[in-house]
A and B are shown apart, each in its own frame.
Chain A
Amino acid sequence: MADKLMTEDEVVGRLRSGMTIAIGGWASRRKPMSIVRAIVRSDLNDLVIVTHGGPDLGLLCAAGKVRKAIYAFVSLDTIPLEPHFRAARQAGAIEDEPLDEGLFHLGLQAAAWRLPFLPSRAGLGSDLLRDNGALRTFTSPIPRHDGQAEELVAMPAFRLDASICHLNRADRRGNAMFLGPDLYWDDLMLQAAPTGGRFISAERIVETADLRDEGCIHQLRISRMMVDGVVRAPGGAHFTLCEPDYPRDEAVQRAYAASARSPEAWEEFRAEWIDIPEPEYQRKVRQALSERPSRVTGKQGESEPGPSGCRSGQATRRSPSGPLRSSKSGEHL
């Protein structure tokens, strides 16, 4: 039976410069930040990043790791525009392949289904066809009911080398679940990447038999058949939001955003939050989280709806002592 547990650095060891990598989550939500930081510290470069962009893309831009960005938007949610990404674009430092959000979905789906493209109306008439040279238009081979054959956009399948996502819970084999309100595109990203290049990190690693008690079965949406490596990463999405385990750390996000002001400010942020060993980072996160009330309020024995709206299971199983403490199964930092 495959045990896929590995470290962030082992994930980085399986990546190569020049690769096209999809990063899960959405804007500043449930991003695999501990792996992104490991990439920043590595000697990888020349990367093509496919993302519903947030600080993942911004950090990699600031560190000079990005050759091209493929995205429909880049935002930090509470800070609407991503300052490091903007700086890279305005300096002409990266290539740009913009997309419509729906086309982004089709690019992943086409790759997952091993199709060359999927059709859409999105993009017709807009400047997307001017700014994204990968898109094509074609006349539908199937006429409509009125006999007319309409013009459509062909969205090419993404050609991914790797995908990296952060989930709330996982087992060692790669089954995983989201506990917040939205899976985003994580499952499709993992299905769109080739075998050998599909990595997840998770807040907690639990026994397979315990997965069903962590939430609803409907949230168990990542199968081990989609995953090649699992990283134990409590706090791994910090400073992005990771409901219901922890909210966004707005103070650290503000410091991150402010570090786009000058090269000196970036070097300062980098020294404080990036170029440090992971245990040191985790210690700082624990400290930050303990200094304010947690949103994880479920008490033992009660069955309150969590942010995900799930009434069974997770609320009673959640540790009341905070998201980064050891869990029932002996999980520890």
Chain B
Amino acid sequence: MNPHVTRAEVCVVAVAECFRGDGELLANPIGTIPMIGGRLARATFEPDLAMTDGEATLVANDRAVVPPDERVIEYWNPYRSMFDWVWSGRRHVMMGASQVDRYGNQNLAAIGDYDRPTVQLLGYRGAPGNTINDPTSYWVPNHGPRVFVEKVDTVTGIGWDRAAALGPAARFVDVRRVVSNLGVFDFETPDRRMRLRSVHPGVDVDDVLGATGFELVVPADVPVSRLPTPEELRLIREAIDPEDAREREVPDKA
């Protein structure tokens, strides 16, 4: 097995780590590397996670993309059932973000003035309900100052400052982590501002700061994101993502 670990594989492990400690709940990572990372967590240290096929069933397969007739189906989960998980607090979603700010507010809806946007995006989708009810993490495959912004144009998923202003109504809000192609970020600071938790191997702290449009909390010593173990690497390459889809989402620059 090639000993060189790619950036995408580091991202997969960083995503998996977001679900550590979640136990038996619906881990719902959306996107290529999130799907692979979630399955890695389940195949190793979080065996009780439940995961979707991206459509209407919960599946037990390790492999991220499975032909319909090879799916090991645990539960029929049409879209409508998703709200039973979301509203009962049994889901940890990892969403994308067209914009994210220092408190973890997310924008999926529109760039510019909402009433007459310069760029219309997907819409609010399920972001308001996800973030007010359940743990939420984000995946950004293209870390840059247009994504990590001072202030998002529209708040679709609520961050820690909005949660603080709501008081007890926000008691289920738990914006956990942001994983990007450059590093891992959390909100484990006194005022819940975004902190640089680790940089991926080969990335300098200055690279991250230069690609971020707001002031990050940077500890004196920034750890390097951990590498996959040999067993994790085997699982990623042979069991979960034999098609190397991860390398297309985050090309290896090393």
Contact in complex: A124, B132 (CB < 8 Å): yes
Which of B75-109 touch A at CB < 8 Å?
Answer: 76, 78-80, 83, 86-87, 109
Contact in complex: B57, A181 (CB < 8 Å): yes
* List of A residues within 8 angstroms of B57 by Cβ: 181, 309
What mask results when residues 141 to 184 of chain B are scored 1 for a CB within 8 Å of chain A, else 0?
00000000000001111100011011011101100000000000
Contact in complex: B120, A100 (CB < 8 Å): no
Partner of A148, one of B109, B114, B116, B168: B168
Contact in complex: A150, B169 (CB < 8 Å): yes
The residue on B at minimum CB distance from A89 is B120
Segment of B122-130, B189-197, B220-228 engaged in the interface with chain A:
B122-130
* List of B residues within 8 angstroms of A73 by Cβ: 122-125
What mask results when residues 68 to 110 of chain A are scored 1 for a CB within 8 Å of chain B, else 0?
0001111100001100011001101000101111110100000
**A131 close to B (CB within 8 Å):** yes
What mask results when residues 251 to 277 of chain A are scored 1 for a CB within 8 Å of chain B, else 0?
000000000000000000000000000
A53 to B131, CA, bound (A): 22
* List of B residues within 8 angstroms of A81 by Cβ: 120-122
Known contacts A105-B80, A125-B132, A126-B162: does B124 contact A98 (CB below 8 Å)? yes
Output the least CB separation between A50 and chain B (Å).
Answer: 13
Q: How large is the interface on B (under 10, 10 to 19, 20 to 34, 35 or more residues)?
A: 35 or more
A150 to B171, CA, bound (A): 11
* List of A residues within 8 angstroms of B120 by Cβ: 81, 85-86, 89-90
**A184 close to B (CB within 8 Å):** yes
What mask results when residues 294 to 309 of chain A are scored 1 for a CB within 8 Å of chain B, else 0?
0000000000010101
Output the least CB separation between B40 and chain A (Å).
Answer: 25
Contact in complex: B123, A128 (CB < 8 Å): no
Output the least CB separation between A145 and chain B (Å).
Answer: 13
Contact in complex: B78, A183 (CB < 8 Å): yes
A121 to B87, CA, bound (A): 8
A131 to B107, CA, bound (A): 13
A99 to B125, CA, bound (A): 7
What mask results when residues 201 to 245 of chain A are scored 1 for a CB within 8 Å of chain B, else 0?
000000000000000000000000000000000000000000000
Partner of B129, one of A100, A151, A307: A100
**A26 close to B (CB within 8 Å):** yes
Contact in complex: B122, A100 (CB < 8 Å): no
**Residue ranges of B at the interface with A (Cβ–Cβ < 8 Å):** 55-57, 68-69, 73, 76, 78-80, 83, 86-87, 109-110, 114-129, 131-133, 154-158, 162-163, 165-166, 168-170, 172-173
**Residue ranges of A at the interface with B (Cβ–Cβ < 8 Å):** 26, 53, 71-75, 80-81, 85-86, 89-90, 92, 96, 98-103, 105, 120-128, 130-131, 148, 150-152, 181-185, 305, 307, 309
